[in-house]
């Protein structure tokens, strides 16, 4: 089963999606398609979505039983011990600078293996191994420069 949810998108994209999926409500499409067709649909969505938002969810073998992709959403995907969660921005996170979520969030999840949870001003933040490695290198470089001066 595949579900696509669109908002603020051009009419032509709605027509394209009805070739493969059934529109059950304005902007909500469902159907059972192969992985190849699903990839083609996502490519077409990215080409035609413009300034709109898109979400695709599909069945998958695994712990959660599903996988998903997002485009142009303010919510972020977070991999926590192999389970993918969505982090919703709140009034505390609005103060910190946020990156735009990746168009292919599954690629982001595949590159992050472990997360470290730290609390700064009462707001939990998740950082990847790569982020910890960069912080470590920056600290080593700072100490090296201080020692050589």
pLDDT bucket at 143, cuts 50 / 70 / 90:
low
pLDDT bucket at 145, cuts 50 / 70 / 90:
low
DSSP annotation of 96: S
pLDDT in tens, 3-36: 999 999 888 898 889 999 999 999 999 999 999 9
Nearest to 39 by CA among 12, 61, 20: 20
Q: Could you give phi then psi for residue 22, rounded to 5 degrees?
A: -95, 125
Where is pLDDT greater, at 54 or 134? Answer: 54
CATH classification of the domain holding 43? 3.30.70.240
Nearest to 115 by CA among 104, 129, 133: 129
For the entire predicted model, the pTM comes to 0.58
Q: Among 1-15, 38-52, 60-74, 82-96, whose mean pLDDT is lowest? A: 82-96
List b or e across 76-88, with b for residues whose CB sees 16 or more CB atoms inside 10 angstroms: bbbbeeeebeebe
Residue 2: predicted pLDDT: 96
Residue 135: predicted pLDDT: 56
Count of domains for the chain: 1
99 Cβ contact partners less than 8 Å away, ≥ 6 residues apart: none
Q: Could you give phi then psi for residue 70, rounded to 5 degrees?
A: -130, 155
Q: For residue 122, give its domain range.
A: 2-148
Residue 76: predicted pLDDT: 82
């Amino acid at each position: 089963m595949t579900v696509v949810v669109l908002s603020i998108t051009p009419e032509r994209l709605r027509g394209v999606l009805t070739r493969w999926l059934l529109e059950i409500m304005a902007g909500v499409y469902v159907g059972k398609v192969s992985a190849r067709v699903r990839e083609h649909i996502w490519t077409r969505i990215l080409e035609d979505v413009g300034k709109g938002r898109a979400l695709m969810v599909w069945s998958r073998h695994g712990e959660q039983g599903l996988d998903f992709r997002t485009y142009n959403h303010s919510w972020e995907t977070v991999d926590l011990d192999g389970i993918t969660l969505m982090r919703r921005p709140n009034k505390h996170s609005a103060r910190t600078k946020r990156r735009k979520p990746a168009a292919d969030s599954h690629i982001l999840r595949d590159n992050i293996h472990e997360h470290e949870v730290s609390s700064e001003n009462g707001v939990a933040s998740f950082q990847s191994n790569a982020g910890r490695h960069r912080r470590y290198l920056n600290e080593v470089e700072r100490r090296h420069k201080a020692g050589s001066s």
